[in-house]
Amino acid sequence: MSNPIRVAILGYGNLGRGVELAIRQNPDLQLVAFFTRRDPATLRTLTPQVPVYSIDQVLAMKDDVDVMILCGGSATDLPLQSPEYAKYFNIVDSFDTHAKIPEHFKACDQSAQQGGKVALISAGWDPGMFSLQRLLGNCILPQGSDYTFWGKGVSQGHSDAIRRLEGVQDAKQYTVPVPEALARVRSGENPVLTTREKHTRECYVVAKPGADLARIENEIKTMPNYFADYDTSVTFISQEEMQRDHSGIPHGGFVMRSGVTGVDGETKQMIEYSLKLGSNPEFTASVLVCCARAVYRMNQSGMTGAKTIFDVAPAYFSPKSGEELRKELL
Amino acid sequence: MSNPIRVAILGYGNLGRGVELAIRQNPDLQLVAFFTRRDPATLRTLTPQVPVYSIDQVLAMKDDVDVMILCGGSATDLPLQSPEYAKYFNIVDSFDTHAKIPEHFKACDQSAQQGGKVALISAGWDPGMFSLQRLLGNCILPQGSDYTFWGKGVSQGHSDAIRRLEGVQDAKQYTVPVPEALARVRSGENPVLTTREKHTRECYVVAKPGADLARIENEIKTMPNYFADYDTSVTFISQEEMQRDHSGIPHGGFVMRSGVTGVDGETKQMIEYSLKLGSNPEFTASVLVCCARAVYRMNQSGMTGAKTIFDVAPAYFSPKSGEELRKELL
């Protein structure tokens, strides 16, 4: 490739590292910079030849970066960073605070319009690929029901909630879809499922020495919003077992559209999309990276403003030409 | 809806009838005409209030139809009809002769450009939704393998091939994915699978009185291209059993992308998309109908020329606004 798309990473946690690795799989993209709020000298990346800059230097790189991938969190980082940097860069973020998407979209749209850039928000798998499948399912089968199941996978928020309890040293929480619920949906029954019927929650907890295990278990199982509405299991394990058996960040899930067609809805039609991810952040990063390509190319073709996965013609995700795509993948 | 999108159907077989029914599920679309090569007076549609015209009258309706859905066959109808009518109408077709897609695209592109229209070709589920999933899988996981399995479902071409044999009165052929092959792909093993390992073929045959069953079975199982490369079963049944147990046109299949991410490909990632269709033509029709909406709106926003599913920003498929989509489905 003579002119690779120059990509920068802002924020170097699990997601930023995933983006760093995903870029290696795409020869038409080139990682040109890391930006961090930490002291750049302290950041140990997997690609030491790529410079690490302080976030304060970001505007100096305005003309050297084609797309900035924002790898911060949705709670406090992205609501500020995305609208700020969309003024100067094409950006991709994975903003996932669902209730605040309209507001975030609006803020990013203003900035990106102003700067003549494209800001693709809420990319990843949910929101992201799962949203796309929901949209397609709804459009193809307007008479039907949507089902989204998550897991089996690690929920960071729920793991954190357990870790905050007194007497807890470490914890990991898995969200698990209930097999009977999946089977009922697949049968075309169109069941109405309660929260409890859809997912169970499996908690693995390392207690501090002398902690009251019964109290911890009870506090987890009755925690409002997080666990009270679910069938929750709590298993106490050692720190060694935690390291050995629960160090990964797997995730996944299912999006199903169960619909009917025919003269009187007599024909059942079922669409199912599923992900089984060895690493949630690495997969999310892989989505962000192909979105970075799309964002750059959309901007090159004259588009500006905020976009979501719903606004991206799929060919933009691919390095191949329309001719190649039609020949090889259609 | 004050201004529904006016849709016409050209060709009234199983697919045309499916389109007729699918339009009923979409209140923003209105079926305004059927066109047929038969004598219009002989066509019995399910919507008698909608006029049936001879195909010779199609140009007179130029200004009364927003999108024409072409429901003919890929062998002889669409190669002529799509380029011809794309001069005057936005069109959607389900052209599926894979090797001839580049040629068909080019012919439709010239006509549609000339007429200022949009021609969406090769819509449906394969080519169509399956193609889209293959594209997305390839872009997200560049290091990986594609797998497409079809079935369980009726193959019209293979059923026809059996019906042409001497002594055969009726026949239906099901293509069936091999469960072990699906399981090996799902495990992330990335197997190289032969034709025989991927699908089996189940044939149900009604023989004419006095026919030589052993010869028929042998001729089926050794038929080059169609059956010789597969494990094929042949079951002779009565015409009554054929009617009772094999009158539907179910189909479906699986698109899988098995890929790896990480520092050295150590993380397995699996994407799976599957369809379980009670009626193949009704589902294909449902896809064509939401493509009709997309085609009209793309043309309204200034686009012209031939397109495939790869070129359609997904929001165009939906009657909802961007704001609604972000709120409800993202």
Tell me: cis bond preceding B307? Omega within 30 of 0 counts. Answer: no
* Pick from B94, B88, B46: nearest CA to B67: B88
| B216 Cα to chain A: minimum distance (Å) | 34
The distance from CA A278 to its chain's CA centroid, rounded to whole angstroms, is 14
Q: Decide: B162 and B230 in contact? Cβ < 8 Å.
A: no
- Tens of pLDDT, residue by residue over A273-327, are 999 999 999 999 999 999 999 999 999 999 999 999 999 999 999 999 999 999 9
Give the whole-angstrom CA distance, residue B182 versus residue B197: 10
Give the global pTM: 0.96
Q: Is the predicted pLDDT of residue A126 greater than 70, yes or no?
A: yes
pLDDT score, position A2:
64
Strand order in B29-36's β-sheet? B52-54, B29-36, B5-10, B67-70, B90-92, B118-120, B305-307
- List A residues 246-265 in contact with B (Cβ-Cβ < 8 A): 261-263
Supply the pLDDT for residue B2: 64
Contact (Cβ atoms closer than 8 angstroms) between residue B18 and residue B42: no
Q: In tens digits, what is the pLDDT along chain B, a chain of 330 residues?
A: 568 999 999 999 999 999 999 999 999 999 999 999 999 999 999 999 999 999 999 999 999 999 999 999 999 999 999 999 999 999 999 999 999 999 999 999 999 999 999 999 999 999 999 999 999 999 999 999 999 999 999 998 899 999 999 999 999 999 999 999 999 999 999 999 999 999 999 999 999 999 999 999 999 999 999 999 999 999 999 999 999 999 999 999 999 999 999 999 999 999 999 999 999 999 999 999 999 999 999 999 999 999 999 999 999 999 999 999 999 999
**CA–CA separation, A133 vs B273, rounded Å?**
10
Which residues are CB-neighbours of B93 under 8 A, at least 6 positions away? B69, B70, B72, B78, B81, B82, B119, B120, B121, B122, B123
- Among candidates B82, B47, B115, which has minimal Cα distance to B288? B82
Task: Tell whether B77 lies on the interface with A, counting CB pairs under 8 A.
Answer: no
Which amino acid is residue B125, in one-letter code? W
Tokens representing B41?
A: 């007076």
Tell me what the mean pLDDT of segment A39-50 comes to.
96
* Mutation target among A93, A136, A141, A295 for the B interface, most CBs of B within 10 A: A136
Choose the mutation target among A21, A273, A310 for the interface with B, i.e. most B CBs under 10 Å: A310
Residue B324's closest chain A neighbor by CA? A102
Q: Does A23 touch chain B (CB under 8 A)?
A: no
Q: What is the 3-state secondary structure (H, E, C) of chain B?
A: CCCCEEEEEECCCHHHHHHHHHHHCCCCEEEEEEEECCCHHHCCCCCCCCCEEEHHHHHHHCCCCCEEEECCCCCCCHHHHHHHHCCCCEEECCCCCHHHHHHHHHHHHHHHHHHCCEEECCCCECCEHHHHHHHHHHHHCCCEEEEEEECCEECHHHHHHHHCCCCEEEEEEEEEECHHHHHHHHCCCCCCCCHHHHEEEEEEEEECCCCCHHHHHHHHHCCCCCCCCCEEEEEECCHHHHHHHCCCECEEEEEEEEEEECCCCCEEEEEEEEEEECEHHHHHHHHHHHHHHHHHHHHHCCCCEEECHHHCCHHHHCCCCHHHHHHHCC
Distance CA A26, CA B300 (A): 35
Rounded to an integer, the average pLDDT of A10-14 is 96
The shortest C-alpha distance from B161 to chain A (Å) reads: 26
The nearest alpha carbon in chain B to A329 belongs to B131
Q: B54 at the A interface (CB within 8 A)?
A: no
Query: Is the separation of the CB atoms in A40 and A53 below 8 Å?
Result: yes
* Model ipTM over 0.90: yes
